[in-house]
């Protein structure tokens, strides 16, 4: 991030900041953007917060108040008499008093708002020669305790995580107070970029006091537009917000867009100006399309710096002119265009009308030069279809009655495949675009086309300049949809005027900002709260009170704000929902259901591992937006945080203390409920895999960690396959989002990618099962039924061939069969349906002695694709495995050939060295590949594709290691 962005737009990161605690016993250098823990770490006051048990020992940081101070003189000493100075904060975490030059400026209490203050008069008249900007942060924990101690405070009847019962009152990242997958550091700081913007009327030639020289800070006319609206600011005007929304003419958030209609482009700028304009105009140019809107008249711009003026303009573009934006795995993929937006000033007369030659009086002041910036967006429609199925469709397709719940992009239904994301780090300020992009690229490489931005975290940013790192723009570019949520999660929120007044600008600002991103798919009011309030309503005597509050906040207040700011994506009250009775007026369905019908979407969390592959426990849902099972990170991740040799054990105090499932519900440490979560993983491994137990304690621990990941992947792949198959069945399932993609620290969690960026087994499992055409053996043990099904998410029929091969565990091929297949669009085809082990197993073999390899070859999108899966009729815990004697041959360009010289190696796994980030891919196809069955005589060659920007060391081929399930019990 540049320190001096532009002469008139100066970053506060250029100042010399200090951080001190409440009693002044700690005073250290600081940075902006940052958070108190990070500055204390840099100063050597604390060690890395994620190390060891620091989430417990560093609680003292949460209990203190922290003040950031810097001398503003270097940015303000040359301000002229006519220049205004505006202080711009894009994020303060969270409860803070802001003072400038000794004057109180504001008390703020919302982490998700941006703030702008005209501080000119304060700078001009400092109190006792005070030239500082000061942000005094109050402990969010103690603030919460104080608020909830009030006699009028309504206490939520729902359980909580670590810092319990206070987060509902604080507009702050909810998981900062603890969650079942992460720590509770409750950070504070100026966590996003901040700037001082100086504005000077155009007729004043220089903002410098008492000098005639031309200021370098005065913007000069240029033909090149700025790369960001903030960088177009300065001179006479600050563009503090911009919104660009593309929809179809006549489209709203609740109707089906007419795909043949022309495109409607809406542009809104929020400005503060030191020079008025009677007849300003906005012009939008799209150079690649050779299209210009021409000057579009907008409302007059007043001279005002203490509040925003909103300027809006709209124009149309013929439907066929632009290429449409799609997710990366559909049609032409993501197509983006540059939009150059120019705000021109005009005074005295309407520039669209001839000048009056008889006009008398003083001439109007000269108009400032226009300001111009370029932003990127794309043309697409995205609709969340929530209405009832037409009767004729129910009859024709055999669909279970009820409501639809799926997404359509550019008028076509598609299968949504993806995951949920949580905050990338407990300390937002240290995240980088490179780290976030790696997670997003990993999602794309594994076939995902949607990420759900979980509502207990933070509104993800659009760019580095205002947000610290880039998220939504990267989603636009990579072609991955983002399901966005307002920040409310797993609690009942008390309604009062203070909350509503704080939330209204928070929501409006973030919706406006995200409008320009074609990746944005919908807005949900929050996470999992609808189900909570329905339960409370049924179980508590005063339950209707909480239901009424929920309806007010999520069914009315938030709904109305979102729809007032956008018209191109849907609003839903909650992530997991029963859907709606009506969209106009908006009426949530709640429990108004007809038995046997299917409504809304669903989730599944079943920690009884014996039921992991019991399909009768899988919901028959239109869309699954959450389902998961937890696992441990790899040995490599534990090496980053464990400090003693005795810690490297599955149930060591430190390892178990980082399992927050189920949560403590208090500040009790170590988590007294951790044995439940640890036990669930233990049982899962013991039921379905060989129990890790070797003479090497480190290997045993490493195999335990890895085996929890193997089970997690087996479980999730089974569910994904089931839900994907549902696209062609009565439930008409069109979405599966696994919980969760990324990790916030090194501990037990549901993630597919570890905190460092290392892929877990599940990430490779999803890369397999999220391919466009997949084969899967559905095994129902109770009825001894095997159904091999091929599922396709393509918009056209797919043909190919399937081969089913039986092997014993020594690798001997027993028999095989090959069949042609054709799968209709968004549907499945059953290739094999057999009941009874006698009819399934090769003659004369026991269930523990054999397994089946299933693979397909098909033509998809004018290319040949393959896919493979495995069927083991008995648990791998009881399979008669044979020593695979894996031979690893290292080739050039980080390629590795694996050969089984003995028996079959189920879940053959390559580890890349500590400090490296990347993934393994099939050397021939480029498809991510790891954790596969290695068969004697069928070698596999994979290549490690490193992320050189994130890797701390160059990968040494000699340090790559291989393991399989055989190593659970053998060195």
Residues involved in catalysis? 528
- With vertex at residue 605, the alpha carbon angle to CA 176 and CA 792, rounded to the nearest 5 degrees, is 110
Q: Three-state DSSP class for 861?
A: coil
Q: What phi and psi, each to the nearest 5 degrees, are found at residue 230? A: -65, -40
CA distances from 612 to 661, 681, 714, 721 (A): 18, 12, 9, 13
**Residues contacting 164, CB < 8 A, separation 6+:** 177, 665, 666
**Residues contacting 180, CB < 8 A, separation 6+:** 161, 660, 661, 662, 663
Q: Three-state DSSP class for 68?
A: strand
Question: Is the separation of the CB atoms in 249 and 264 below 8 Å?
Answer: yes
DSSP state of 556: I
Peptide bond into 740 cis (omega under 30): yes
| Torsion over CA: 202, 204, 205, 207 (sign) | negative
CA distances from 617 to 608, 704, 718, 825, 915 (A): 11, 26, 12, 27, 40
Question: Is the separation of the CB atoms in 761 and 710 below 8 Å?
Answer: yes
| Torsion over CA: 218, 222, 228, 229 (sign) | positive
Query: Could you tell me which of 493, 458, 463, 492 has the C-alpha nearest to residue 476?
Result: 463
The region, left, alpha or beta by phi > 0 then psi within -120 to 50, assigned to residue 15 is beta
- With vertex at residue 713, the alpha carbon angle to CA 707 and CA 716, rounded to the nearest 5 degrees, is 140
CA 837 from chain centre, in angstroms, equals 44
State how far the Cα of 52 lies from the Cα of 34, in Å rounded to an integer. 22
- With vertex at residue 286, the alpha carbon angle to CA 280 and CA 291, rounded to the nearest 5 degrees, is 85
Residues in the chain: 971
Q: Three-state DSSP class for 806?
A: strand
610-643 burial: b if 16+ Cβ within 10 Å, else e? eebbebeebbbbbbbbbbbbbbbbbbbbbebbbe
Question: Is the separation of the CB atoms in 478 and 333 below 8 Å?
Answer: no
Which two tokens mark 209? 């006091």
What is the residue whose two structure tokens read 């006549």? Answer: 250
Query: Could you tell me which of 189, 190, 183, 192 has the C-alpha nearest to residue 58?
Result: 183
Helices (H), 252-370: none
State how far the Cα of 152 lies from the Cα of 158, in Å rounded to an integer. 18
């Amino acid at each position: 991030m540049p320190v001096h962005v532009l002469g008139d737009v100066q970053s506060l990161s250029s100042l010399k900041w200090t951080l001190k605690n409440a009693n002044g016993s700690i005073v250290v250098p600081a940075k902006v953007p940052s958070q108190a823990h990070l500055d204390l770490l840099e100063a050597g006051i604390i060690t890395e917060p994620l190390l060891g048990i620091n989430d417990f020992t560093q609680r003292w940081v949460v209990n203190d108040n922290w003040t950031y101070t810097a001398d503003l003189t270097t940015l303000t000493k040359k301000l002229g008499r006519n220049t205004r100075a505006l202080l711009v904060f894009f994020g303060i975490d969270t409860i803070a008093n802001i003072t400038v030059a000794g004057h109180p400026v504001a008390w703020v209490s919302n982490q998700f708002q941006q703030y702008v203050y005209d501080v000119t008069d304060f700078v001009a008249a400092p109190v006792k020669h005070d030239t500082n900007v000061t942000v005094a942060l109050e402990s969010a924990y103690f603030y919460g305790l104080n608020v909830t101690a009030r006699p009028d405070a309504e206490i939520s009847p729902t359980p909580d995580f670590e810092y319990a019962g206070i987060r509902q009152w604080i507009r702050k990242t909810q998981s900062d107070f603890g969650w079942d997958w992460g720590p509770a550091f409750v950070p504070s700081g100026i966590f996003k970029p901040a700037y001082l913007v100086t504005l000077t009327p155009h007729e004043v030639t220089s903002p410098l006091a008492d000098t005639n020289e031309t200021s370098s800070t005065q913007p000069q006319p240029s033909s090149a537009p700025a790369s960001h609206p903030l960088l177009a600011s300065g001179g006479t005007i600050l563009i503090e917000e911009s919104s660009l929304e593309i929809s179809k003419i006549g489209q709203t958030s609740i109707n089906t867009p007419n795909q043949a209609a022309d495109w409607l482009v809406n542009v809104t700028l929020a400005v503060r100006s030191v020079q008025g304009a009677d007849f300003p105009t906005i012009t939008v140019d799209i150079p690649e399309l050779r299209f210009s809107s021409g000057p579009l008249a907008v409302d007059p711009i007043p001279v005002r710096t203490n509040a925003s003026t909103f300027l809006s303009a709209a124009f149309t573009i013929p439907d066929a002119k632009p290429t449409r934006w799609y997710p990366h795995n559909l049609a032409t993929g993501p197509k983006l265009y540059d939009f150059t937006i120019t705000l021109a000033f005009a005074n005295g007369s309407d520039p669209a009308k001839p000048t009056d030659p008889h006009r008398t009086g003083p001439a109007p002041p000269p108009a400032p030069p226009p300001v111009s910036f370029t932003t990127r967006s794309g043309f697409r429609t995205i609709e969340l279809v929530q209405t009832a199925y037409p009767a004729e469709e129910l009859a024709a397709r055999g669909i279970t009655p009820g409501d639809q719940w799926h997404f359509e992009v550019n008028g076509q239904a598609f299968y949504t495949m993806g995951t949920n994301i949580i905050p990338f780090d407990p300390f937002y300020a240290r995240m980088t675009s490179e780290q976030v992009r790696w997670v997003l690229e990993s999602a794309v490489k594994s076939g995902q086309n949607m990420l759900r931005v979980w509502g207990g975290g933070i509104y993800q940013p659009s760019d580095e300049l205002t947000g610290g790192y880039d998220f939504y723009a990267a989603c636009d570019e990579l072609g991955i949809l983002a399901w966005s949520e307002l920040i409310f999660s797993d609690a009942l929120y008390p309604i009062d005027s203070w909350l509503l007044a704080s939330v209204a600008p928070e929501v409006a600002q973030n919706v406006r900002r995200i409008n320009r991103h074609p990746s944005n798919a919908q807005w949900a009011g929050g996470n999992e709260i609808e189900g909570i309030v329905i339960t409370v309503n049924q179980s508590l005597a005063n339950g209707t009170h909480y239901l009424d509050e929920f309806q007010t906040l999520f069914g009315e207040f938030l709904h109305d704000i979102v729809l007032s700011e956008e018209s191109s994506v849907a609003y839903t009250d909650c992530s997991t929902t029963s859907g709606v009775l009506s969209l106009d007026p908006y009426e949530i369905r709640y429990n108004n259901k007809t038995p046997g019908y299917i409504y809304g979407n669903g989730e599944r969390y079943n920690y009884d591992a014996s039921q992991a592959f019991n399909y009768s426990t899988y919901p028959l849902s239109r869309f699954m937006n959450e389902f998961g099972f937890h696992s441990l990170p790899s040995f490599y991740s534990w090496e980053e945080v464990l400090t003693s040799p005795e810690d490297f054990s599955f149930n060591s105090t430190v390892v178990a203390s980082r399992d927050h499932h189920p949560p403590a519900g208090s500040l009790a440490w170590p988590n007294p409920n951790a044995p439940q979560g640890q036990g669930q993983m233990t049982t899962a491994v013991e039921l379905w895999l060989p129990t890790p137990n070797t003479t090497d304690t480190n290997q045993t621990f490493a195999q335990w960690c890895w085996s929890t990941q193997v089970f997690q992947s087996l479980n999730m792949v089974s569910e994904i396959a089931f839900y994907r198959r549902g696209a062609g069945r009565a439930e008409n399932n069109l979405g599966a989002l696994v919980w969760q993609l990324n990790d916030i620290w090194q501990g037990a969690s549901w993630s597919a990618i570890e905190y460092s960026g290392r892929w877990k087994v599940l990430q490779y499992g999803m890369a397999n099962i999220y391919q466009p055409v997949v084969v899967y053996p559905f095994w129902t043990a109770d009825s001894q039924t095997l159904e091999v099904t091929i599922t396709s998410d393509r918009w056209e029929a797919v043909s190919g061939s399937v081969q089913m091969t039986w092997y014993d565990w020594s690798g001997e091929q027993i028999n095989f069969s090959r069949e042609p297949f054709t799968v209709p669009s968004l549907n499945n085809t059953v290739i094999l349906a057999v009941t009874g082990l006698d009819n399934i197993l090769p003659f004369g073999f026991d269930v523990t002695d054999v397994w089946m390899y299933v693979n397909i070859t098909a033509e998809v999108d004018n290319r040949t694709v393959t896919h493979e899966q495995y069927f083991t009729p008995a648990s791998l815990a009881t399979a008669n495995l044979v020593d695979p004697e894996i031979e690893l041959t290292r080739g050039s360009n980080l390629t590795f050939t694996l050969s089984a010289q003995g028996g079959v190696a189920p879940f053959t796994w390559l580890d890349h060295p500590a400090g490296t980030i990347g993934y393994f891919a099939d050397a021939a196809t480029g498809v991510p590949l790891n954790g596969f069955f290695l068969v004697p005589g069928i070698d596999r060659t994979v290549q490690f594709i490193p992320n050189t920007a994130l890797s701390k060391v160059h990968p040494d081929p000699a340090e790559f290691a291989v393991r399989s399930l055989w190593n659970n019990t053998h060195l």
